Amino acid sequence: MSSSSSSSSSSDFSVDDLVRPNIRALTPYRCARDDYNTGVLLDANENAYGPVYLRANQSARAPSKEQGYHRYPDPLNNDVKALYTAWRGLPGPEWAFFGVGSDEAIDLVMRVFGVPGKHKVLICPPTYGMYSVAAAVNDLGVVKVPLDVENARFQLRVDAILEATRADPDIRIMFLCSPGNPTGTCLAKSDIRRLLESDYRGIVVVDEAYVDFVDDDEEKGSVIRWTERYPNLIVMQTLSKSFGLAAIRLGIAAASPRIIHWMNVTKAPYNIPAPTAALAYAALSSTGLESVQSVVRQLRAERKRLTDGLLALPGVLSVFGNADANFLLCQIGDAQGQGQPDSARAERIYRWMADSGVVVRYRGNEYGCAGCLRISVGTPEESDAVLAQLSKALADEKLAR
C-alpha cells in the first residue's frame, strides 16, 4: 500500500461525524445474555423444553435440545469473526460485522450513514442492482457515474467521481464493486486508492463478493487490509460465492472498529441464526478453507474452459470479465455477422435457453453490456449444457431476428 502523502488521513477523519444523528443518540438494545450466558437461563422468555415440533418429529435432520436451538443466538459471534479476521489478516473480531448476507450490510450502511430524503449514494453502472434498491428503500438519492466501458475496460472514472462528490456534498456513501457484477472485472486498486486519498469525506464501500475468484495479482486482489489505514473504508465479502453457502446468508463487512460499532448497535439484536454461525465456524476451519481453495481452483480452470468454448461459437462476439469472477459476460452478435452486439437476439436466446432448461441471465439492457448474457461458471457438465444449448440457439433462424 502506498504511504505517499494523502489528503485523507486517519488523523483528520472522524467516522462518528458521518453517523446519522438519531443513530448517534441511540440507546442500543441490550439483553441479559450480553453479560451472562450460562446457568439457569430464564431471562429471555425462551422455551426450556427445546425445539418442540422437532422433538415430536424426530428425523435425521432434526436438531436436538443440546444444539441449543431453543435459545436466542449469540448477538455478535466473536468466535466466528475471530476465525474470519485471522484468515483475512485483520487485527481481530472487532473489525468485522456479520449480516444476513452482504445485502443486509448494504442496507445497514445506508441506515447508519444516510439521512433519508437528504443524503445520496454514488454508484458506477453497470453494477450490482441492490445498491439502488436499498437506496430507494432508505429514501436516499442515487448519483450515477458510469464506468469507463470502452473496449469493455469496466474501470472507474476517478476524475468524474471526484467531480460529482465535489459538486454534491450530500453524497455520503459510494459503492464500488470489485470484481464487478455484471462486469466480472476487478477495479484497479490504484483508482480505489486515489478515491480514498482524495478530499472526499464520505464512506467508501468496496464490495468484494467475488474476490476469491481473482487470480493472484497484486494490482487486483482484496483491499480488505486497507481498512486499517482508511477509517472510512468498508469492505464487503460473503460466504455465498466461493464458500458455496448462499443459503445460510452470511455476509461480512470489514471496517475500522468504530464503523463496526455503529453497525452493531443499529442491527437487529440476533440477526445471525445459530445454524448459520455453526456452519460458518466449520467452513472457516483450516480444512474448510482448504476445501474452498480447492473448489476455487476447479472453478477457475472451468472458467477458462467455458471462455474458450464460448469464443469458439459462431455468433459470440466476445467474452468479457477478464477472468476475475465466477461468471462471464458473453456478448452475442447480430445474425448478419456484421460484428455488432445484438441485445434483442441475446434476449430471445436467453428465453429459449431458459425454456429448454439452461438458465443464464440476460444483461443486455445494462449500461455498456449490449448483447450480453451473464453466465455463472458451474460444473463441467453444466458448462457443456450451456455450450450445447447456446450453440443450438445461435444456429436457430427463428431466434436470429
Ligand X SMILES: Cc1ncc(COP(=O)(O)O)c(C=O)c1O
Residues within the interface to ligand X (CB under 6 A): 101-103, 128, 177, 181, 207, 209, 238, 240, 246, 251
C-alpha closest to that of 105 among 282, 284, 319, 254: 254
The answer to whether residues 349 and 399 touch, using CB atoms and an 8 Å cutoff, is yes
CB nearer ligand X, residue 126 or residue 251: 251
Cell numbers 475496460 correspond to what residue? 153
The x, y and z cell numbers of residue 63, run together, are: 436438531
The answer to whether residues 349 and 371 touch, using CB atoms and an 8 Å cutoff, is no
The x, y and z cell numbers of residue 140, run together, are: 436516499
The answer to whether residues 224 and 90 touch, using CB atoms and an 8 Å cutoff, is yes
The distance of closest approach from Cβ of residue 102 to ligand X in the complex, given in angstroms and rounded to an integer, is: 4
The distance of closest approach from Cβ of residue 169 to ligand X in the complex, given in angstroms and rounded to an integer, is: 27
CB nearer ligand X, residue 152 or residue 253: 253
DSSP 8-state code for residue 186: P
The distance of closest approach from Cβ of residue 336 to ligand X in the complex, given in angstroms and rounded to an integer, is: 34
The distance of closest approach from Cβ of residue 207 to ligand X in the complex, given in angstroms and rounded to an integer, is: 5
The distance of closest approach from Cβ of residue 321 to ligand X in the complex, given in angstroms and rounded to an integer, is: 13
The distance of closest approach from Cβ of residue 251 to ligand X in the complex, given in angstroms and rounded to an integer, is: 4
CB nearer ligand X, residue 209 or residue 387: 209
Q: How far apart are CA 375 and CA 392, in angstroms?
A: 16
The distance of closest approach from Cβ of residue 205 to ligand X in the complex, given in angstroms and rounded to an integer, is: 10
Residue nearest to ligand X (CB): 101
Q: How far apart are CA 292 and CA 242, in angstroms?
A: 6
In this structure, what are the phi and psi dihedrals at residue 259, rounded to the nearest 5 degrees?
-65, -45
Please work out, in degrees rounded to the nearest 5, the angle formed at the alpha carbon of residue 108 by the alpha carbons of 78 and 86: 30
Q: Which residues are 155's β-sheet partners? A: 148
Taking residue 276's Cβ as centre, other Cβ atoms within 10 Å add up to 21
The distance of closest approach from Cβ of residue 313 to ligand X in the complex, given in angstroms and rounded to an integer, is: 26
CB nearer ligand X, residue 181 or residue 383: 181
CB nearer ligand X, residue 207 or residue 212: 207
CB nearer ligand X, residue 101 or residue 126: 101
Q: Give the sign of the dihedral formed by CA 248, CA 249, CA 253, CA 257.
A: negative
**Ordered strands of the 120-123 beta sheet:** 96-99, 251-254, 233-238, 203-207, 171-177, 120-123, 141-144
CB nearer ligand X, residue 29 or residue 367: 367
